Amino acid sequence: MLERLNEAMDHIEDHLDETVDAAELARIAMTSEYHFRRMFSALAGIPLSEYVRRRRMTLAGAEVLSGERTLLDVAVRYGYSSGEAFARAFRAVHGVGPGEARRTGAALHSQPLMSFRLIVEGSSSMRYRVVEKDRFRLVGRGTRIPLVYEGMNPAIVEFVKSIGKETLGRWEEHATGEPDGVVAAVSNHSAEDAEGTELDYFHGVVSEAEVPGASEALDIEPGLWAVFESSGEFPLAVQYLWRDVYTQWFPSNPYRSRPGPSLSRTRVSEDGTHADAEVWIPVERAGD
């Protein structure tokens, strides 16, 4: 899988002065466009469209500084129909307009060419299972949160605090199915979402009955789920689990992600140093 991903990366590089077709990249990687975008975002830490934009502006920046072409010629070469649109995109990446960059020889930002490789650290084991579930319901409370790719998400921390430990304890008593206990769900998340994009976030338990203090419900469609478990230092155990799913498990197994909410359950020790984490990712068999 990683070899095919790198072939897709080569294709991007060969077509930076054209429209980069995500469907074609997925075909090269022999997977679905949805899974390719999710895989790329997880591995690279940025959406596919942002990577392409940064690479395109990296090459455009070099041409702007060289002075061999007019600014309009550079703009047209990299797919911009007007100098104004090119200038906006250029400034968004480099922090300076192309005209000023050429006049002053300004220092520009560079997006390195990415390639992917598998690193097996051997520091922890990842336990997984694949289960098929009928339609089920999460009951609890939902909110909107900004997307944070790395580190703790303060919005989630504040939201969970607002629910309160007593309420969460009552919810857990009413949980009636898998995933058991209090579960977090993130839905309407596109692999093209930039950091700070607002996502739907839900905190609740699996139950078909009324649960005290649970004012909302989230219905989840039937399908296959890959379930991953890990234990270790908090919050690293949780963050590394998500990373390892995409860098180690997906490239080595005949599954790909499918649309649907991602679920997680994290149980942190009383001193806040250790966590048992479980992640549920909606999947389908590759080739289906």
- Per-domain residue ranges of the chain: 2-104, 127-285
Quick one: pLDDT at residue 38?
86
What pLDDT digit, counting tens, does each position of 164-206 carry?
A: 999 999 999 999 989 999 999 998 766 566 667 788 999 999 9
> Is the CATH number 3.40.50.620 carried by domain 2-104?
no
Quote the CA–CA distance of 15 and 31 in Å, as a whole number: 20
Q: What single letter denotes the amino acid at residue 54?
A: R
CATH of 127-285, one of 3.40.50.970, 3.30.1330.180, 1.20.930.40, 3.20.80.10: 3.20.80.10
Q: Is 39 or 258 the better-scoring residue by pLDDT?
A: 258
What is the rounded average pLDDT for all residues in the chain? 87
* Beta-carbon contacts of residue 5 (< 8 Å; ≥ 6 apart): 29, 39, 40, 43, 116, 251
Q: Answer yes or no: are the C-beta atoms of 86 and 75 closer than 8 Å.
A: yes
What pLDDT digit, counting tens, does each position of 66-121 carry?
A: 889 999 999 999 989 888 999 999 999 999 999 999 998 888 988 888 887 655 55
Quote the CA–CA distance of 41 and 23 in Å, as a whole number: 15
Quick one: pLDDT at residue 118?
58
What pLDDT digit, counting tens, does each position of 107-119 carry?
A: 898 888 888 765 5
